[in-house]
Amino acid sequence: MSMKKNLFFPSLLSLLLIGITATAQETDGTGCVSGTVTDETGRGIAGAVVTLKPEAYYLPEVSGETNDDGQYRISVEAGNARHFASIKAPGHTLLDDVIPLIPADNPVRDFTLYGTMTYRGGERSTIILPFAPDPTVGRYYTLDRLDGKKVIFRRVMEPQANQPYVLFADRDYHVSLEGYDLSAVTPGSINLGWVSFFGIYNNGLVDFASPMTPDILDEKEDWVTDDPLESMAMHALLLVYWELWYERELVFDDTPNDVTGVKKQPRTQHTALNPFYDLQGRRLNGKSAACGLYIRGGKKVLITK
């Protein structure tokens, strides 16, 4: 017993010393990250917020704003720790950079945010906007249901703000984000079990669970970066459970919402005898149903304003 204790405590002490040494190495030394934040035309963005987020959870985030020329300079005390930059500015897309920064190296890193977006006519695109999209530019489809291995999107006549859609545009659709702060809104998503469809307002990091496989529905070739998953701002991503990815079949149903058995009714308070359920089968516990699609009495019900 005594020998085990003698062996254990030095080992524990060694681990603690290693941890302390690693922490000291990360926090020792100061550094600086600088650069310029521009829009898609190359013009500097004033007042953009650049936040450096450390990989180590116990270290603080550090933020700074760009000047009138879009330039920023941020000092970091934990200079040897890896940081990732997150950038936001009203009227522009968000950016969560995927390339780590070591402030002690005094790196210069420039970033681009986009204040406009174009959905090309004749292409299949995904789209999500902080305002209701123009219904006249083409056909919009929302993820509606699963039928075996079929993933069925149904046509929507009146697309809504902050909701993901597939768009078949008849002409180029130019969109400006002026006056909108994307950091203050939450992009919508639809989850149907082994398939989910969610909108994205930021370029860079796209986070999803590993059993799911991304399915990029856009026929877009001129992505912002070489990796489409880093260029998804103002688009939507379909995730499919990996075992079913090769077997899934996409179906676009042109039957509009109001003639496919989906009953529209105003927002209402459910009763114990006739409750509402969400599309995942979860019962709403005594709350008024917000606008959206629900199950009631075994039928799909669209709650409107």
Whether 60 is in a domain gets the answer: yes
- 5 found inside a domain: no
| CB neighbour class for 61 (10 Å; exposed up to 12, middle 13-18, buried from 19) | exposed
Residue 159 sits in the same domain as residue 230? yes
Last residue of a domain, one of 67, 94, 112: 112
Same domain flag for 83 and 186: no
Could you tell me if residue 33 is inside a domain? yes
The pTM of this model reads 0.72
Mean pLDDT by 10 residues, the chain (305 residues): 42 43 52 96 97 93 97 93 95 92 94 94 94 96 92 95 96 96 94 89 74 80 58 88 80 71 43 56 58 61 61
**Tell me: the pLDDT tens digits for 9-61?**
445 444 343 444 444 444 456 899 999 999 999 999 999 999 999 999 899 99
Q: What are phi and psi of 170, to 5 degrees?
A: -80, -25
Asked if residue 17 is part of any domain, the answer here is no
Cα angle 86, 91, 95 (rounded to 5 degrees) comes to: 20
Please enumerate in sequence order all residues whose Cβ is within 8 A of that of 182, keeping only pairs 6 or more positions apart, or say none.
88, 92, 93, 94, 130, 201, 202
Residues 236 and 130 in one domain: yes
Same domain, 120 and 246: yes
Specify if 100 maps to a domain: yes
CA distance 146 to 248: 10
Same domain, residue pair 122 and 156: yes
138 Cβ contact partners less than 8 Å away, ≥ 6 residues apart? 121, 167, 168, 169, 170, 171, 173
Q: Are 257 and 303 in contact (CB under 8 A)?
A: no
Number of domains forming the structure of the chain: 3
CA nearest neighbour of 126 among 168, 170, 175, 174: 168
Q: Which residue range(s) make up the domain with 278?
A: 261-304
- Indicate whether 8 belongs to any domain: no
Q: Which pLDDT belongs to residue 225?
A: 54
Q: Which CATH number does the domain housing residue 40 bear?
A: 2.60.40.10
Q: State residue 1's pLDDT score.
A: 41
278 shares a domain with 193:
no
What is residue 232's predicted lDDT score, i.e. its pLDDT? 83
Residues 220 and 142 in one domain: yes
Q: Do residues 96 and 178 both lie within one domain?
A: no
